[in-house]
Chains A and B, each alone.
Chain A
Amino acid sequence: MSAVNSLARPRRAGRSANRRPGRRPERMWAYLMVAPMTIGLSVFYLWPIAQTFFYSFTKSGPFGGHAWIGTANYRALVDEPSVLQSVANTLFYAVVQLAGIPLAVLLAALLNQRGLRGRSIYRLVYFLPVVTMPVAVAMLWRWMYNGDYGLINQLLSIVGVRGPHWASDPSVALYAVAAIGIWMALGYNMVIFLAGLQGIPTMYYEAAAIDGAGPAKMFFRITVPLLSPSIFFATVLTVINSLQMFDLAYMMMSTPGAAAGTANPALPQVRTVSYLFYQKAFVEHDLGFGAAVAFVLLGFILAMTLIQFRLQRRWVHYA
């Protein structure tokens, strides 16, 4: 899903003009050099897309084999309430993740001030969760979210608030998971914006200062519009990644004493589409239904990305 980046940035060196037409030995070398990757991608990625599509019209027997059942899996998608609920959960999660973007813009703008001391330390600290294994991050937060012994409720009790069981209370669990998501991605978005800010010429700010503009006005009138291509890029990426969220939900929902990923009371409110896919295909071994869910996910991602590219004309300024 990373190709999006190339759309948000000007292309680097294009096709060279002085490249010669392929001579025979060169052509042979070219085929040899692309062969391993072509074979590998075909076997493990390209053909599987077609196979998944085929599976989505079948029901897999207990001893392998796939019986053609037409569109039954897709019709079952509509009937099963967990599907619609998981689509709603995923959408909600993705929308909440977008709240992290203004936060990251603000942090980047603060960090970008000339002569600021300790910039590289701040950047290191904010980026730390990006390189940390999501499984470990989720485990840590689940411990902090613990209703009885968690740090969060302990801190809340100081100010006299009695916190809920964050990871298992259906009314708050998805918010709790979404907060972890924002925390994990903050440094990543911030770094994208830092790079974008470096491309804004200082003279705009100097001119605005002469006209008597204050910091707030400069931020909203100069920084935000000129940063909008980076903001767009981060938004598209955040949505694509959020729509596929699995690790955090999986880790938050597993219960001690049972196999991972089973029955937390908040599961219906936290289960994402990707989680549902995993559960159907690999826990309940219903490959056909799982394949249909995977295509729901694909359609969902394509639709959301398309909508964003449509909307971009209204607010993204390309200098």
Chain B
Amino acid sequence: MRDGAMAGGRSTRRAGTAATHVVLIAGAVVMVGPFLWEVLTSLKTFSETTHLPLTFLPHRWQWSNYVRVFEQLPFRQMFLNTVLMAAGRTLAQLVFCSMAAYAFARMRFRGNNLLFGLFLSVLMVPSQLFLIPQYVIIQDLGWVNTLQGLIVPGMFSAFGTFLLRQFFLALPHDVEEAARLDGANAFQIFLRIALPLARPGLLALTILTVLWSWNDLMYPLVVTTDPSAMPLSAGLATLQGEHFTDYSLLMAGSIMATAPMIVAFVVLQRHFIQGIAFTGAKG
């Protein structure tokens, strides 16, 4: 389907390109349309959303719906919980995963293969197999409805270790060897030389961990019961069930809940796509 595929004169090629755009634009409408409808719904009154025939544009733009979200839900607290949960997990993973990953990639110690095999086995198993005991631990510690309950198990990741190990393995050896000859110890070499070189890997891990923490539903649903202790995902899910058919309010809330990740994605598009698609990480 490259250039050559459109052989047979300029006009045929132009028709081909036009047809391509028609298909791609139709697809794009299907992808963006729902988001557009979400925004328009969020700006209508409740009665306008449930009045037939449906209006396309809001009769009067109800920006106040966005304020109502803060008044009717503990939205500010949920937002804060989400940010702190994502930040806590990500910072811890950057430290713990990079240390373990470097040791696995570059250092020799007894039992390294066995240990790495155990790490890999965690990667192969669906998360439902950890969840019940995690819940029991969180409950025994009295961490239900707490920030540490949301953060702590997510501070450790076999996936993150595996991802960063790949980056460390790809680094050239020479610089590390030179530092070793200058008398640096293993940890200094890791901290001063290998870590800065592995920045693209650290960025990928950051993006994935933040996104995954932000969007995950089942774990927070299990370890929080009080809306003001929930992150946005569990909070919105619970609120949809409990109160509302007030979709203008729900849409305003979910726009604000998803906006940070969408903005981050638009700004860091290339890194997001590489990080997500090429590590096979999703959910």
A126, B242: Cβ atoms closer than 8 Å: no
| Chain A contacts for B133, CB-based, 8 A | 47-48, 51-52, 55
B251, A140: Cβ atoms closer than 8 Å: yes
A135, B236: Cβ atoms closer than 8 Å: yes
B250 to chain A, nearest CB (A): 6
Assess whether A318 is interfacial by the CB under 8 Å rule: no
A141 to chain B, nearest CB (A): 7
Q: Which of B50-92 contact A (CB under 8 A)?
A: 50-54
Give the A-B pair count, Cβ closer than 8 A.
352
- Decide: A30 near B107, CB < 8 A? Known: A37-B100, A192-B277, A278-B218: yes
Q: Tell me what chain B mostly uses at the interface: helix, strand, loop, or mixed.
A: helix
A123, B273: Cβ atoms closer than 8 Å: yes
- Decide: A13 near B137, CB < 8 A? Known: A33-B99, A110-B20, A294-B128: no
B99, A261: Cβ atoms closer than 8 Å: no
| Chain B contacts for A124, CB-based, 8 A | 266, 269
| Chain B contacts for A291, CB-based, 8 A | 132
Assess whether A81 is interfacial by the CB under 8 Å rule: no
| Chain B contacts for A62, CB-based, 8 A | none
Most buried by A among B107, B222, B247: B107
From A148, A183, A202, contact of B31 by CB (8 A): A183
Q: Which of B200-224 contact A (CB under 8 A)?
A: 211, 214-215, 217-218, 221-222
A2 to chain B, nearest CB (A): 5
Partner-B contacts on A (CB < 8 A):
1-6, 12-14, 16, 18-22, 25-27, 29-34, 36-38, 40-41, 43-49, 51-52, 55, 107, 109-116, 118, 120, 122-136, 139-141, 143-144, 146, 148-149, 151, 154, 183, 186-188, 191-192, 195, 202, 205-206, 208-209, 214-215, 218-219, 223, 233, 237, 241, 243-244, 246-247, 250-251, 254-256, 258-262, 274, 277-278, 281-282, 287, 290-291, 293-295, 297-298, 301
Q: What are 26 A-B interface contacts by the 8 Å CB criterion?
A: A2-B123, A16-B173, A20-B108, A26-B185, A29-B107, A33-B107, A36-B95, A37-B96, A37-B119, A40-B96, A46-B118, A47-B133, A48-B132, A109-B1, A126-B28, A133-B214, A135-B232, A140-B34, A143-B247, A202-B2, A206-B4, A215-B16, A256-B242, A261-B241, A278-B218, A291-B132
Partner-A contacts on B (CB < 8 A):
1-7, 16-17, 20-21, 23-24, 27-28, 30-32, 34-35, 37-38, 41, 49-54, 95-97, 99-100, 102-104, 106-110, 112, 115, 118-137, 152-153, 155-156, 158-159, 161-162, 166, 169-170, 173, 185-187, 190, 211, 214-215, 217-218, 221-222, 232-233, 236-238, 240-245, 247, 250-251, 254-255, 257-258, 261-262, 264-266, 269, 272-273, 276-283
